[in-house]
Amino acid sequence: MLEEILEFLPCETPQLWLDAAPNNLACLLIDHANCEKKAAATAMNLMYRHSSKPDLLRKMSQLAREELLHFEQVVEILHQRDIEYVRLSPPRYAAGLRQLIGKEQDAQLADTLIIGAFIEARSCERFAKLVPLLDQELSKFYRSLLRSESRHYKDYLSLAQKYSAQDSNEDFAERVAQFARVEAELINAPDKVFRFHSGPLY
């Protein structure tokens, strides 16, 4: 699955971000908890807004449960390490992707699902790259998340294609490519603060 995710993503995480991660462990874990909580909330929101789509309800229900479990696990790690779960300013990553969401109602669902696919794929890629950089406990934890995150990416992408307002598979692929170009810019552009989905610090 990692090979598929690396093919899907427009670029790999910059080495400068990876170099900064072990030195920003508190921010990494706190923002990771935030990401899991937001992912569960997004899934629940999609369930409320699209209750007539059984396949979406099933996938998002499973995803929300798993993301909340991951949230609980990260909060427990924070507690064990005496790291206070403080409020952090949100990164520009998700907001930057959301700027591309179409204004037409038919396009909004598919675009939201495409964003979900990119967020899950990027999370999975970063989990894998963090494994050899962190202590044994955290490495084991992040390795344990790879399978579920890769499945979430596939679920989001398959649902996005199913509910796409595009006229053909080629049009859908081009729409995904538009998001990919913005995702690459967000991942590679320097950031002032370290976050789980930030670019490299400057």
202, part of any domain: no
**Per-residue pLDDT tens for 52-94?**
999 999 999 999 999 999 999 999 999 999 999 999 998 899 9
**DSSP letter (8 states) at residue 167:** S
Residue 12 in any domain: the answer is no
Q: Is residue 103 part of a domain?
A: yes
Structural domain containing residue 78: 20-84+92-187
Tell me the pLDDT tens digit for each residue of 97-117: 999 999 887 789 999 999 999
> Residue 61: which CATH number?
1.20.1260.10
* 27 in a structural domain: yes
**What gap in Å lies between CA 124 and CA 5, rounded to an integer?**
8
34 within some domain: yes
The Cα–Cα gap between 159 and 151 comes to: 12
Count of structural domains, the chain: 1
Residue 152 lies in a domain: yes
Q: How far apart are CA 57 and CA 155, in angstroms?
A: 12
198 lies in some domain: no
Q: Are 144 and 69 in contact (CB under 8 A)?
A: no
Domain membership of residue 141 (yes or no) is: yes
Q: Hey, is 191 helix, strand or coil?
A: strand
Output the six-digit token pair for 144. 């344990």
